[in-house]
Structure 1
């Protein structure tokens, strides 16, 4: 039946612990521990831990004495408390009895692991029992079993007992503070009785702890029974249970000298009482104001009133910043805006710790309205000095109380455009005032600007709309400004206007910052340059001069030579008999025109050498005869001249020798030159006949006219074959069995030199033909 009930309890604890626990306050951190303020809070903590919530690293704080606690916190190694529990100097009165099977743990904390328990007093009854073979029973005023945990500044009074009854191998441990294990320091146990009972053997008892504990600076006064037998202070089963007289342990001096306990903050022995040390009470001061936030100027003094649970010492008030607020008695005087801590405190005495409460009093700055005054200026001027006005000073104060006067700023400068600009107050500083800034307006007015066209000139006929733009200057332009909408400078003159002086006027300018005032300028139209040039002429030596002409460069606006005062006269000193070369052509320089400055350029007459044809005369001889005298016939002399006037006469030569075989041999014209003639040399033919005197090719044939342009006649080669080729060797004409007077049309032939070949049988002769 016991096993069934115990299992049911474990199941219920597990179910309940699955829900998030809430306590009287706090979040479980070191700065805000969970607050244990009631029996219900203790029950909730026990239920959570016994259900598997170990609270590792979580903080708890007991806020008052509690009674009637009947449920241990932690029922096994798995369900052990692993947090930090601060008793706050308060006492928990318990009545905890645990009856179980295998392992039984009894105490305010049944099982703690890696935990810290401090500043806690325990009174009442703690007991554990087991009647199963191989069972363990652990009891302690504060905890049954401790591993890797610390207990400090704690005490226990009342009764602690453990028992184990079985036929073999059972264990029983009872300790004043802890049944088994852990580290215990600065603590004491004054239990009414300590009992550890085991049928036969395996029992342990200790005034502080029964076994396996590290005990430092502790003391105990307890009556101990182990298996119903008294245990002395010297018994090995007694841990730190040294005997002393009760009066010593009731002496603060003795405890401080021997145990070094802290009687300033933790322990207290009531005066005039035969009592053991107890924890000092915590002084609780309730301190508040009607409002923790006020505005400078609303109040000058505040009466402070706090209450306390400690009536043994007076409440003293203090300020952490006398620059913000001072205190005399319970009267607070406000000095300036700011945040100050007002402390209500009491010194320790008569069992109370020193305590206090603090209020943060916030004295907000008073709003002060600061308005910038309106101002004006002309564009380009230095901005004026800005001013402002105030509204909202307290206690008839003025700007003299400001730590820093406001900065009055405006984006406008001497280069700012005309228009309205915001004057912005800012950056004022005062201990007791915050600022509400209101802007003002700066009006920037336009500036007068004179527009002066620049005097200029252009040449008659210039196209000013394409190539020329009138310029102007400004008087009054500042700040390196550029006028985006420029005025237009115009004149009544056009490209067709005669030379003279014309007005330049401006209009149409627009600018944000200027009023335009227009003035006049002057345009002077000057004469355009006109060049009259004699044209270059050409002729051959001995020919008449051509008609000389001129060309004009510079006429404008469709003007012609008709605008000239007279027509130009052109001269050249060359005659028909002038040698080949260059001769100047000059112009009379006595012309004028209303819109032109006239200049003259001479030309030249190029006299080319006349073409003079020098042709070797054809000759005939028989084989073995010496060559005849070779002669040259000339065509092209002018001015009645002949070869006797040539600077160097040409020569006719032939390579044939007296023994040369019958046939046709060329007679070449070489050498010869003249200043006025360009020699065109034509070969003749030497025909060598066989000894029989029979001519195979007519040697006396001829071609005329030569040079030719329309047609030519080949005479004296009747019955022969005629072939005419050009300089590139292409056949231009060929015919067999030609007539005695064969006419050939050359009107469509290209100009140049051609070669004529007349062939009869195996003999042939050649001549040259010039086509002009």
Structure 2
């Protein structure tokens, strides 16, 4: 290339020339490894790309919910992410650029109402729900809005099953699904109380039974043994035996059925204190044999608690074999002449 100046009246003409070579830079291509579509909460992605020139690659996030640290890409939200790989070129290669995009979908998030169970009469507890699918250490506070939870029951509701219902909830990063729960109100147990009845003599007059139930509901009576009951009044039959009184409340929509029993003895003949003071029966409980002292040659009758005679014998050598009896509780009547006494004995293995 020549540069010249023609000169004028004061200056001579002048020229100068230089020579240089023009070299054309080569184009280069970038192969950018595809990043697949992801779901929010996905692990960090390592971006890889190579340039045909062999020169180093730089990466950039052009747009979308992602941040870059070197070649490590971290997802920060949902939507479309555009990333770019660039090579700036050098004295031999032109600059090159490659872009790609991928979609970050919402993560599935299920919200389940916690089932609850209480007993009739209890206060309705706080309603709660459980998340499954939160990522990145997040909590419900990271949602745009959390679901609301309600139930149709209240503190006066009958026993039964009631829905716990979820609604609402919003998030840019989660696809929320709701699962309702159940509040179960169980029937409450009721307790029956019966005043203890002392043992009676067959000739005792009628008497009333006193009973109550915590529910305040109406209850019924059932009696077995040598007695009957009319209303709350018990009448004895005049014979000995064990009387079992059962008070039952059938329950209702809010209360479980309840039953309670007591027993008392009706003695055939009251003991004569002198005779009774001499008699001793042991061991009690007994396995196969009873020792009866103070009643030599006395007649012995043994009755089951329902009044059935199960054994008769005469005391000989102070011993009575009961090995042939079933395990259980018996009334033993010991008599000598006009004197009698009754003992309760227990037969065991």
- TM-score normalised by L of structure 2: 0.49
Q: Which of the pair has more CA radius of gyration?
A: 1
